Chains A and B, each alone.
Chain A
Amino acid sequence: MQSGSLVCVGTGMTLGSHISPLSRSYIEQADVVFVLVADGITEQWIEQMNADVRSLQPYYLEGKSRMITYREMVATMLAEVSAGKKVVGAFYGHPGVFAWVPHNAIKQARELGYNAHMEPGISAEDCLYADLGIDPGTYGCQHYETSQFMFYKRNIDTAAYLILWQVGVAGDRSLAKHSTDSAYRQILVELLTEHYPAEHEVILYEAACLPIERAMFKYLTISELPTASYSGKTTLIVPPAAKMVANQVVLDKLGLLSSAD
């Protein structure tokens, strides 16, 4: 095994509240830390933990495909791993949830013969369940990246929750926009209303990044989605619109089993 290493850790969503002791220890003991978090104050917080913290933010440019940006981020981290350093990638939330860069950096580092692994963090999804009082086990829960949800035909279960991430860049095929406008979300509305009533109540949600902030949630109807305001952190939650339908065939088979017991 080669001498460099890579650990991608999650910093959680809220400054000071969510980072695990082990993730913090990895940051403090690293030779170099690459940081990608959701606000500038949290970035400064991570900078206090290690003498060599480098932000990945400068790789983002409006008009530049995020796919290029992400590959550059991976290459930058791997260059330091290849130089024999203990490298940590500190990503907000959970580094493995809706996060291309950490997964691919770890995969490529391993392919090159380096030790690489991931330490979980508290994700926006975790905060959402706590803040909104939703249990994904009650009715089931479907998660999609919003644009992927729009680009591909999916079988939507309207008896379960539907959660769409990165709704602020819904429908951006170029991957080069930092936000999309109401026309894009109108197409999302058209897609959703194939399955849900236009007046079905949905929720826009943002987890708190700082301890002086509160989580944001706004209730509105699907038809109101195009005129709402969004940031890069906004998530769309579509609660169930139908009741679960019993699968009588399976229930009958199970009934035969239990009567035979």
Chain B
Amino acid sequence: MKNVINFLERLGKDAQLKSLSAEQLSEMVNDSQLTDAVRLALQEGNVAELEQLLDTRHKIICYVVVPAEQEPEPSEEEPDENGNETKVSNF
């Protein structure tokens, strides 16, 4: 399936391929060495089918930030239960 990824990468980075019509792109897919099922998925723009054929990871989560809470006041040192000063982590 490495060929499929290479094909997609080529599509993504070649300006000439970006300007191909749907028919021209379909011809290019037909001329490729890819399997019939992959060709069909590419021609139909069927990403779900393509993911299945490539056996990719399912249910990708792409959240990478949390709704930041207000930064606490500078918390250099707080006494612990015994009255000792301890550093406080601040995430």
Which residues of A approach B to under 8 Å, CB–CB? Answer: 14-17, 36-41, 43-45, 48, 55, 57, 60, 66-67, 70-71, 91-92, 98-102, 104, 145-148, 151-152, 165-166, 169, 175, 178, 210-213, 232-233
Contact = CB atoms under 8 A, between A and B. Distances in A.
Q: Which of B1, B42, B91 has the most CB of A within 10 A?
A: B91
6 contacts: A16-B9, A39-B47, A67-B66, A152-B70, A212-B11, A212-B42
Interface in B26-70: 42, 45, 47, 50-51, 54, 56-58, 60-68, 70
B72 interface: no
Nearest to B13: A16
Contacts of B65: 98-100, 145, 165-166
Contacts of A232: 60-63
B67 A148 contact: yes
B22 to A, nearest CB: 11
Choose among B8, B51, B67 the residue with the greatest number of A CB atoms under 10 Å from its CB: B67
Given A39-B56, A40-B54, A40-B56, A212 B8 contact: yes
Contacts, number: 109
Contacts of B66: 66-67, 70, 100, 145, 175
Contact of A37 (B9, B11, B62): B62
Interface of B: 1-2, 5, 8-13, 18, 42, 45, 47, 50-51, 54, 56-58, 60-68, 70, 91
B60 A71 contact: no
B10 A16 contact: yes
B51 A57 contact: no
B51 A41 contact: yes
B8 to A, nearest CB: 6
B67 A40 contact: no
Identify the interface centre among B5, B8, B13, B63: most chain A CB within 10 Å of its CB.
Answer: B63
B51 A39 contact: yes
Contacts of A210: 8, 12, 47
B3 to A, nearest CB: 11
B63 A44 contact: no
Contacts of A48: 2, 5
